[in-house]
Amino acid sequence: MSSTIVYLNGQKVDYENAKIPVEDRGFLFGDGLYEVIHAYDGRFFYMDRHLARLQDGAKEIYLNLDFGIDNLEKICRQAVDECGFADTSVYIQVTRGAAERQHVFPENIPCTWVVIARESKGNPEEFYETGITCITVPDERWNRCNIKTVQLLANCIAKEKAKRAGSYEAIFHRGGTVNEGASSNVFIVKGGKLFTHPADNRILNGITRGIVLEIADANNIPYSEEVFNINQLLDADEVFLTGTTTEIMPVVKVDGKIIGDGIPGKITRMLQEKYNNLKQTVNR
């Protein structure tokens, strides 16, 4: 029987009994990192890249992954094998651990780390066929968006604004410059060329974002990692979002403005096809 599987600090526990101390720093300060990895029919989709990003983030915030990255990988694979779902979403969270509340980092305490493997239900197929709508919102996050921390309140507020507006995603902008979505990266297509924000401190360098650039490179689609503004976003021939759970999502309307012809574009469709082919083969 298929079920959600939880490992807490390397030990398998029932979902209902998975508990952390009240003074865990992830709870008190948002002092932690996370990753979401997809497994298609039991095959991990670029887990190696997700774990490498986790390690990079840990270095940025001076977090010692004391449980070992190889051990984490083993637990992820066990959890997917045990949960029994065809498509699985694996959530990883690592915090600095539990200690008496103080702002400075405590010394010599173990990390709190959790792996949750559950069924990935995905998005409605119609979203990929007909496209979705977005709104734009001011980017009120901190300036280290390249680190995948659990500090996501600004993202949650933006998502709620999108939901209340009847849209799928909120696209962050700072001074008119488009950065990324609340839980996705943003691409535009203009004149047959892809554009996406550079992988600097203003965005998370998404794993799917990188895969899309590799697909573009392999298929002679020109692209540029450079900033673009809201006017260029609204004037684009095509717009799409990327992300682990989003995959490649066509956008047909932003802030009420129809994008291109109001249907998913040719380049978006081609990238979706190539990406879906990878889903059937990649096991890393």
Known catalytic residues are 148
Compute the distance between CA of residue 43 and CA of residue 126 in angstroms, rounded to an integer.
25
- Tokens encoding 103: 């702002």
Rama region for 97: left / alpha / beta (φ>0; ψ in -120 to 50; rest): left
Contact yes or no for 153/276 (Cβ under 8 A): no
4, burial (CB in 10 Å: exposed 0-12, middle 13-18, buried 19+): middle
The pair of structure tokens assigned to 221 is 């689609």
Tokens 């992954």 label which residue?
65
Number of H helices, E strands in the chain: 8, 15
List, in order, residues 6 or more apart from 30 with CB less than 8 Å away. 149, 150, 151, 152
**Are 111 and 63 within 8 A, CB to CB?**
yes
